[in-house]
A and B are shown apart, each in its own frame.
Chain A
Amino acid sequence: MSETPVSSAVNFSDEQSMLLDTAVEFFRDTSPMSYVRSQLATETGFAENLWREMVDLGWLGLAVPEAYGGSGLGLAEAVSIAEPMGRHLCNCPFLSCQMAIQVLLAGGDEQQRGRWLPRLAQGAIASVAVIERDGDWSLVRPTCSAIRQDERIALSGVKTFAVDAGVAELLVVSVEFEGEPALVLLENSGLPEGALTRQRVIDETRRSFRLDLDGIEADAADLITSRAALGALAAIRDTALLLITAEACGGTAGVLDVIVDYLNTRTQFGRLIGSYQALKHPAVDILIGLERARSHLYHAASVIGDAELALGALGMAKAQACDAFAYAGDRSIQFHGAFGFTYECDAQLFLRRALWCQYQFGDALHHRKHLADLLL
């Protein structure tokens, strides 16, 4: 193996630490399990006042430069929000918005940034639609197309997993344009009736939409093309990997709490079931998976500004965290016995979230395949 320098240092600033403290408390208070369950059947999947509070705390403008009304921090700080958010299974458009912000920073022109960044910093919601019906995670092969017709751009095709699109003002959509991947910034208010339809997704806290682009037109000024588009797509990938990893780490810690609580209260054959090694040892496996995942997460956050280091760090982090969470979710059902088989048991909420995290933006196997090409 080549002796390329590998970073193995985790850095964590006071700023990140303070944000983490605040966010841990915030989500513990605002997103207890009763709140999570109360949102399962609602239209938007989150409470308007919760979102408003997050906006007021300045969290949506965290990674927006000061010139556009944000606080000029970065994605590393967003991890401090996303991890505790995931722990309490809190659903809100935070991730979608962070992805859109990074798209504008990486590929948007001055006019596009000026139009959207100040609004996003103030809590306007965005949705990113980069997946299609075949479910391929590759972001650089969109088949939905954009065709130039005079000053206008005609779109066609179907996108899926437009998460939070129902409440979004901005939709960032990947398309094929003149033989290359491109992104188009669509204003939701301009969409025809019926363009967005709800998907039924495994994680019932989430709101995801299918977007039918046929007949929709955009302005040429709303396109991000060629190199800028590739940069923006890479930014979507990096943001998603980092923040989904953060949510997965939080979720693993959350479900481990549920497991430990149950093992410490449920009695069978006259003993607390947590005293059985058959349950103890897998619980330790979950803990170890979580510790490694969190270390990878905060390392990835430490190197997120360095494209070369970040590529490997993010893939490792996502693979480790999603496998750890999926394992924890799976075991949490089993450990609850018959109760674990019920809708009533909170374990299922975590298992559903774990699978959501696993299958968004590449599962562990997918990332390991790419890591192999990078590292071996």
Chain B
Amino acid sequence: MNELDEFRAEVAAWLMENRPRAPDFLLPESFMEVGSDRQFHYLRDWQQQVYEAGYLGMAWPQEYGGGGMDQVYQNIVTDEMARLNVPFMTNTIGLNWAGPLILAIGTDEEKQRYIRNILSAEEIWCQGFSEPDNGSDLGNVQTRAVRDGDEYVINGSKIWTSLGSYAKHMILLARTDPHGENKYAGLSYFLAPMDVAGVRVQPIRKLTGEYGFTQTFFEDARIPASCLMGAEGQGWQIAMSTLTFERGAAGGQAGGLSMVVVRVADVVELARHAMRDGRPSIEDPHVRDELVKFLIEEQGDRLCESRSRIPALCSERPGSIALSGKLRGTELRRRLCQFAISLQGANGALWVGDRDAVADGKWQRSYFNAFSATIGGGTSQVQANIVAERVLGLPKS
């Protein structure tokens, strides 16, 4: 066994030994769906435990609380977390978007101030990009930030704020200059505190009936001027580099799972027990064909990850695999959950909490929740435009 295999075995053993007991309440399926205090505390404690064991931020610099090791170790940990289906890391926005951004372009002071607490989940981060009237059209952000002495005064509203109820900080995109030469020029980027007067957070009820994200209202909220990242007017550019982290198109994330992995193998298992015309669904040729299609797709995406690390096999369109990753992964998940429901016969119409619901309605809930990822962070349709324009070079308009 080589060193990496040994490390993998060690990680697997630690995860098996330390994974938290299954709670007696439903856990959220991703960081976007943390809707109750007990869910939040359960997940935060787990992230803290993983960090203290040295399995998070392994490739981040040691001086800021990271492990200073090669990325390959963190990838192994993340793989094992997915394989063993342990709970995900709840501070995802900090770990995978804000954190890598701060490490890439932040000042030393910002790195000292924020990075360690991101890893330990001591301070939760949320993202303030989308607004009620501007979802995918981020350049049109209307929330205002007006400089007043040593402070900025924030007014406006952000929506779909995951973890909004629990966050200590927000990466905030706001307009400092309403008269910029174009809509992008007047935007600025802030590492904004949430615990100041004038910030009000209102939970939003999702299509599943649960709570999970919030709308955040700023009413003359004053934040220190030092929260500005970069210079005024650089907001759009910084937001775009945040999105490359968010969409997984750039490395540097702290690692760890950010959502419950849905596997085709679980649906295969479901098909063994679901009945059609008195026989297990898995004997139905149509069902078999669909399952194999999903297996080919799932394996295809896994193999794309592997191939993307071989430059000679990606030289023609280097960004293609990374830029299409969100589109591929989230749409696959949505369709897979949809298919899992179709295997349940009449029970496909049951919902969470019914005594006869298959797997306690997990697939119905997962299907609904899957839309959070096909919509959030740029809808699949916007993602397709981005891939068409940046990878294939098709015209914008």
Out of A287, A294, A365, name the residue touching B392 (CB < 8 Å).
A287
Stretch of B64-72, B151-159, B229-237, B304-312 contacting A (4+ beta carbons < 8 Å): B304-312
Tell me whether A372 and B394 are in contact (CB under 8 A): no
Tell me whether B268 and A376 are in contact (CB under 8 A): yes
Residues of A within 8 Å of B307, CB to CB, are 10, 294-295, 298-299
Return B101 CB to nearest CB of chain A, in Å.
Answer: 27
Tell me whether A275 and B324 are in contact (CB under 8 A): no
A53, B381: Cα distance in complex, Å: 47
For window 352-395 of B, CB contacts with A under 8 Å fall at: 381, 384-385, 387-389, 391-395
For window 257-302 of A, CB contacts with B under 8 Å fall at: 260, 263-264, 271-272, 274-275, 277, 280-281, 283-284, 287-288, 291-296, 298-299
**Dominant SS at the A interface?**
helix
Return A249 CB to nearest CB of chain B, in Å.
Answer: 11
Q: Does A38 contact B (CB under 8 A)?
A: no
Tell me whether A368 and B292 are in contact (CB under 8 A): yes
Return B274 CB to nearest CB of chain A, in Å.
Answer: 13
Out of A1, A264, A283, A292, name the residue touching B265 (CB < 8 Å).
A1
For window 300-344 of B, CB contacts with A under 8 Å fall at: 300-307, 310, 312-313, 316-317, 320-321, 324, 327-328
Tell me whether B300 and A284 are in contact (CB under 8 A): no
Tell me whether A372 and B303 are in contact (CB under 8 A): no
Q: Does A320 contact B (CB under 8 A)?
A: yes
Return A272 CB to nearest CB of chain B, in Å.
Answer: 5
For window 218-275 of B, CB contacts with A under 8 Å fall at: 265, 268-269, 271
Give a binary string over A52-84; 1 marks a CB under 8 Å from any B CB, 0 the rest: 000000000000000000000000000000000
Most chain B CB within 10 A, of A12, A21, A275, A376, is at: A376
Tell me whether B395 and A272 are in contact (CB under 8 A): yes
A10, B397: Cα distance in complex, Å: 38
For window 155-177 of B, CB contacts with A under 8 Å fall at: none
Tell me whether A281 and B328 are in contact (CB under 8 A): no
Residues of A within 8 Å of B296, CB to CB, are 292, 296, 316, 319-320, 368, 371
Tell me whether A296 and B299 are in contact (CB under 8 A): yes
Q: Does A144 contact B (CB under 8 A)?
A: no
Tell me whether B388 and A295 are in contact (CB under 8 A): no
For window 301-346 of A, CB contacts with B under 8 Å fall at: 316, 319-320
Query: Which partner residue on chain A sits nearest B310 by CB separation?
Result: A12
Most chain B CB within 10 A, of A1, A277, A284, A368, is at: A284
Q: Does B396 contact A (CB under 8 A)?
A: yes
Tell me whether B395 and A292 are in contact (CB under 8 A): no
Residues of A within 8 Å of B388, CB to CB, are 274, 280-281, 283-284
Q: Does B52 contact A (CB under 8 A)?
A: no
Knowing A1-B268, A288-B324, the reply to whether A280 touches B394 (Cβ < 8 A) is: yes
Q: Does A201 contact B (CB under 8 A)?
A: no
Tell me whether A277 and B381 are in contact (CB under 8 A): yes
A292, B385: Cα distance in complex, Å: 19
Residues of A within 8 Å of B327, CB to CB, are 284, 288
Return B12 CB to nearest CB of chain A, in Å.
Answer: 13
Q: Does B282 contact A (CB under 8 A)?
A: yes
Residues of B within 8 Å of A295, CB to CB, are 300, 303-304, 306-307
A295, B288: Cα distance in complex, Å: 23
Q: Does B115 contact A (CB under 8 A)?
A: no
Interface residues on chain B, size class: 35 or more
Residues of A within 8 Å of B395, CB to CB, are 264, 271-272, 274-275
Tell me whether A371 and B295 are in contact (CB under 8 A): yes
Query: Which partner residue on chain A sits nearest B324 by CB separation?
Result: A288
Tell me whether A20 and B289 are in contact (CB under 8 A): no
Q: Does A138 contact B (CB under 8 A)?
A: no
Residues of B within 8 Å of A293, CB to CB, are 300
A62, B265: Cα distance in complex, Å: 39
Tell me whether A280 and B384 are in contact (CB under 8 A): yes
Q: Does B201 contact A (CB under 8 A)?
A: no
Tell me whether B394 and A291 are in contact (CB under 8 A): no
Q: Does B205 contact A (CB under 8 A)?
A: no
For window 1-52 of A, CB contacts with B under 8 Å fall at: 1, 6, 8-10, 12, 17, 20-21
Query: Which partner residue on chain B sits nearest A299 by CB separation?
Result: B303
Tell me whether B288 and A320 are in contact (CB under 8 A): no
A288, B388: Cα distance in complex, Å: 11
Residues of A within 8 Å of B110, CB to CB, are none
Query: Which partner residue on chain B sits nearest A2 by CB separation?
Result: B265
Query: Which partner residue on chain B sits nearest A375 by CB separation?
Result: B295
Give a binary string over A163-187; 1 marks a CB under 8 Å from any B CB, 0 the rest: 0000000000000000000000000
Knowing A272-B395, A291-B320, the reply to whether A12 touches B291 (Cβ < 8 A) is: no
Tell me whether A271 and B387 are in contact (CB under 8 A): no
Return B261 CB to nearest CB of chain A, in Å.
Answer: 14
Out of B269, B300, B389, B391, name the residue touching A1 (CB < 8 Å).
B269
Residues of B within 8 Å of A8, CB to CB, are 299, 302-303, 305-306
Give a binary string over A208-224; 1 marks a CB under 8 Å from any B CB, 0 the rest: 00000000000000000
A127, B300: Cα distance in complex, Å: 32
A292, B298: Cα distance in complex, Å: 9
Out of B302, B310, B381, B397, name the residue touching A281 (CB < 8 Å).
B381
Q: Does A131 contact B (CB under 8 A)?
A: no
A298, B299: Cα distance in complex, Å: 13
Q: Does B293 contact A (CB under 8 A)?
A: yes
Return B336 CB to nearest CB of chain A, in Å.
Answer: 14
A296, B300: Cα distance in complex, Å: 6
Return A328 CB to nearest CB of chain B, in Å.
Answer: 13
Q: Does B297 contact A (CB under 8 A)?
A: yes
- Chain B: residues with CB nearer than 8 A to chain A? 265, 268-269, 271, 282, 285, 288-289, 291-293, 295-297, 299-307, 310, 312-313, 316-317, 320-321, 324, 327-328, 381, 384-385, 387-389, 391-397
Q: A263-B394, A295-B306, A372-B292 are in contact. List 16 more A-B contacts (CB 8 A).
A: A1-B268, A6-B299, A8-B299, A8-B305, A12-B313, A260-B393, A274-B388, A275-B394, A281-B381, A287-B387, A292-B303, A295-B303, A316-B300, A319-B292, A369-B288, A376-B282
7 A-B pairs with the lowest CB-CB distances in the bound complex, closest first: A292-B300, A295-B303, A372-B288, A274-B394, A280-B388, A17-B312, A368-B292
**Can you list 28 A-B contacts (CB < 8 A)?**
A8-B303, A12-B310, A12-B312, A274-B394, A275-B394, A277-B384, A277-B385, A280-B384, A280-B385, A281-B384, A283-B392, A287-B392, A288-B324, A288-B328, A291-B300, A292-B297, A292-B300, A298-B310, A316-B295, A316-B299, A320-B296, A320-B300, A368-B292, A369-B289, A371-B292, A371-B295, A375-B295, A376-B282
